Amino acid sequence: MHKKQGISVRTVVAIGIGTAIFFVLMRYIPIPTGVPDTNINLAYGFLALMGSIFGPVAGGLIAFLGHMFNDLTWGEPWWTWIVADGIYGILFGLTKKYLNIENGGLTKHKLVIFNVYQIIISVLVWGIIAPTGDVLVYSEPASKVYLQGITSVICNALSVGILGTILLVAYARTRSKKGSLKKES
Amino acid sequence: MNNNVLIGYKQRDNFVDRLTGTTKLIGLIALSVIGMTSFDTRFLLVLTVCSLALFRVSGIKFHEVSFILGFITVFSVLNLIAVYIFGPKYGVHLYGSEHVIWQGIGPYNLTWEQLFYEFNLFLKYIFTVPLALIFLMTTNPSEFSSSLNRIGISYRISYAVSLALRYIPDVQNDYRQISRAQQARGNEISKKGKLTHRVKVAGQILLPLIFTSLDRIETISQAMELRRFGKLKKRTWYAARPMKRNDFLALIVIALVVLVGIYLFKVNGGRFYNPFK
């Protein structure tokens, strides 16, 4: 047998299909907020699910590629936010071990911790990293990009908090707990 | 859902079309990054004109992209207005001088510096548009992933990108079908329905969409494993094309443009070109 190299086949496929869904959700079903270029994105609820099932590599790449394709179809690759999105995906991927959702390890307590964590990383990524990148790279007025940032924090945290939580619970129901089968004597 | 540029690839027999995906990919990344960092108006103007000229050469028809262009214009203008509302004196602050054209109320007057700064922003918003559209509409998706592999990205990731491009139309189709099925059951997602109702219906569409796709991940990865995907260090690509003379020429031109951009940082003593000094 060959030694396993790099990421698994399942992760490769998850990145591919995940990116496709992320792209479709971001491109066709955004709910505008009134602040230019800032939408409520259902894609982030989905990203939370993919990150927690497939881990940081998948989460990061799904968000990075999905956002990049979305921006390319509008003709303006906005690199600072694309990179920020990648970081957001990686941070969601880090919950994989803790949530242990694939082996049915999801509990109410873990869901609450997950939601606290997602609010913290939303603030970190959309409130700090993305707008600061805009100020440094695009040299836009700080007050404008921080307003966009704060709006995104609220929208994305809501998307993850509502849709993400629903998806996690629904997915967890389809998985059975590890060791739940007993041998009949 | 109709204006799908991403899968708008069509063979067009011209100079731009014959370049390999690798060249176009490097070009798009290099030019958009240098254009993103530079605030030299002359440089941005030349970039914009060149990318428009390239767009003309690429043979993409205006009506194929007119919807996108309209949308981008509206958003760029909204963005520029937002910049003005939140930082009416930002240009003055950047260029360190103030030439008032029109005295307004409070901080909201119109200065040449602000206009000039926003003009720079405008150029930055629009110069990538022709490049990105050319890239999307003249690059064969399978060749695109072979190009990613050639510029040093692992073939597993490149293959994931190619899977994504392959499955975007499928996912769109699934979405459309599920949403029609829900509409047939009286669940309205379009603007006709009430907002709370629409949110609920959106959930009813998303859940099946996402869960069928998760099943699909299992099926595809099993099929790929059966075909021994990922067992070896390297992989060849059916759609890969060899680099030709024109590719090298194009890459040299791109390198020159990037070098000029970097050289201008030095000339201007920073990223900004300041005509007000």
pLDDT tens-digit map of A126-139? 999 999 998 888 88
pLDDT at B241 over 80: yes
- Pair (B56, B98) in one structural domain: yes
**B2 in a structural domain:** no
**B220 in a structural domain:** yes
Output b/e per residue, B76-115; b: 16+ Cβ within 10 A.
beebbebbbebbbebbbebbeeeeeeeeeeeeebebbbbe
What tokens were used for A46?
A: 């989905």
- Pair (B219, B276) in one structural domain: no
**Interchain proximity B163–A17, CB inside 8 Å:** yes
Within 150-169 of A, beta carbons closer than 8 Å to B belong to 163, 166-167
**Interchain proximity A5–B224, CB inside 8 Å:** no
- Pair (B65, B131) in one structural domain: yes
Nearest residue of B to residue A162, measured between CA atoms: B203
Taking all residues of chain B, what is their mean pLDDT, rounded to a whole number? 85
- Rounded to two decimals, the pTM is 0.88
pLDDT at B108 over 90: no
Nearest C-alpha neighbor of B152 from the set B246, B241, B248, B26: B26
**Interchain proximity A12–B157, CB inside 8 Å:** yes
Residue A105 pLDDT class (50, 70, 90 cuts) = confident
Measure CA A88 to chain center: 6
**B3 in a structural domain:** no
What is the DSSP secondary structure assignment for residue A102, as one 8-state letter?
G
On whether the CB atoms of residues B26 and B255 are closer than 8 A, the answer is no
**B1 in a structural domain:** no
pLDDT of res. B256: 95
Indicate which of B37, B217, B218, B265 best probes the interface with A, i.e. most A CBs within 10 Å of its own CB.
B217
**B73 in a structural domain:** yes
- Pair (B98, B224) in one structural domain: no
**B188 in a structural domain:** yes
Find the CB nearest B87 among A46, A144, A174: A144
Nearest C-alpha neighbor of A52 from the set A109, A100, A107: A100
Whole-angstrom distance, CA of residue B224 vs CA of residue B198: 38
Within 8 A of B128 by CB-CB distance, chain A residues are 75-77
- Pair (B233, B107) in one structural domain: no
Whole-angstrom distance, CA of residue A13 vs CA of residue B9: 23
Within 8 A of A134 by CB-CB distance, chain B residues are none
Indicate which of A1, A67, A73, A147 best probes the interface with B, i.e. most B CBs within 10 Å of its own CB.
A73
The range of the structural domain enclosing residue B130 comes to 12-140+240-277
Measure CA B32 to chain center: 9
- Pair (B272, B170) in one structural domain: no
- Pair (B135, B160) in one structural domain: no
- Pair (B80, B128) in one structural domain: yes
Find the CB nearest B135 among A49, A72, A138: A72
pLDDT at A181 over 70: yes
Within 8 A of A49 by CB-CB distance, chain B residues are 210
On whether the CB atoms of residues B83 and B64 are closer than 8 A, the answer is no
Within 8 A of B157 by CB-CB distance, chain A residues are 7, 12, 15, 61
**Interchain proximity B128–A19, CB inside 8 Å:** no
- Pair (B114, B17) in one structural domain: yes
**Interchain proximity A139–B1, CB inside 8 Å:** no
Between A33 and A13, residue with greater pLDDT: A13
pLDDT at A31 over 80: no
Amino acid at the residue B60:
I
pLDDT of res. B166: 86
- Pair (B29, B134) in one structural domain: yes
Domain count, chain B: 2
**Interchain proximity A19–B160, CB inside 8 Å:** yes
**Interchain proximity A69–B130, CB inside 8 Å:** no
**B260 in a structural domain:** yes
- Pair (B22, B121) in one structural domain: yes
Contacts of B10 (CB under 8 A, 6+ apart): B137
**B207 in a structural domain:** yes
H and E: helices and strands count for chain B: 10, 2
**Residue A6 region, left (φ>0) first, then alpha (ψ -120 to 50), else beta?**
left
| A10 inside 8 A of chain B by CB | yes
- Cβ-Cβ pairs closer than 8 A, A with B, add up to 182
Domains belonging to chain A, first-starting first, are: 9-174 (1.10.1760.20)
- Pair (B120, B24) in one structural domain: yes
H-helix or E-strand containing B102?
strand B100-105
Q: What percent of chain B has pLDDT over 70?
A: 93
Using DSSP, state whether B272 is helix, strand or coil: strand
pLDDT tens-digit map of B12-53? 778 888 888 889 889 998 999 898 888 889 999 999 999 889
Q: What is the ipTM of this complex?
A: 0.86
On whether the CB atoms of residues A42 and A163 are closer than 8 A, the answer is yes
